[in-house]
Each structure stands twice: as C-alpha cells, then as structure tokens.
Amino acid sequence: MQGQKSRSIAFWLGTILGLIGIFGIGHLYLGRRQRGLTFLAMTAVLVVVFLVALSVPQLLMYLVFPFPGIGPVVFILIWLLQTYDLYTLTKKPAL
C-alpha cells in the first residue's frame, strides 16, 4: 500500500509542478534519474528561450521561432509527454 501511495504522490507532484513549468520532478521522485534529468533539461531550454525572447524579440522571431505562438504549444506538448510518461510509470508494478 505504501508503494502505491508514493507512486500516486509522484504522479500528482509531477503533474502539478509540470503545470508551472518544472518538468521531471515526479520522475526523480520515482527514482527515474535519467528521465527526470532529461525533462529538467527541457525546462532549462524553455527558460533560456523565454529569456532570450524577452531580451531580443526580433532575433527570436526571425531565427528561432518563425511560427508565432509555438512556445505555448511546445510547453503543452512537453507537459503532456511527461504527464503520460509518469502515468505509465505509476501504473507499472514496482521492481
């Protein structure tokens, strides 16, 4: 029972923190270090791109994102990917 409770905590922790832009915490909580660090790296990339967009909007517009509104789409896709991955990990039997 305790294992299932910690898996549930990991799922909700990852889902809620993912909504505010911190991906991978639930994976780290489950002990999936490589996946967690990969999702955290995605968070870092999104933050850097966002900060560059704030400081040099013309550069970002012409070189990085020629499609307007792609940032929120990328954020939502990464959030859905990490949430689905957490869901499948929490439904697997513990090793």
**CA 7, 12, 17, 22 torsion-angle sign:** positive
- Reported as a single tens digit per residue, the pLDDT across 24-77 is 888 888 888 999 999 999 889 888 877 877 777 676 666 556 666 677 888 889
CA 82/CA 8 separation, integer angstroms: 15
| Residue among 50, 41, 48, 32 at smallest CA distance from 89 | 32
Q: Where residue 14 falls among pLDDT bands split at 50, 70, 90?
A: confident
Q: Which domain holds residue 56?
A: 2-91
Q: How many domains does the chain have?
A: 1
CA 58/CA 49 separation, integer angstroms: 13
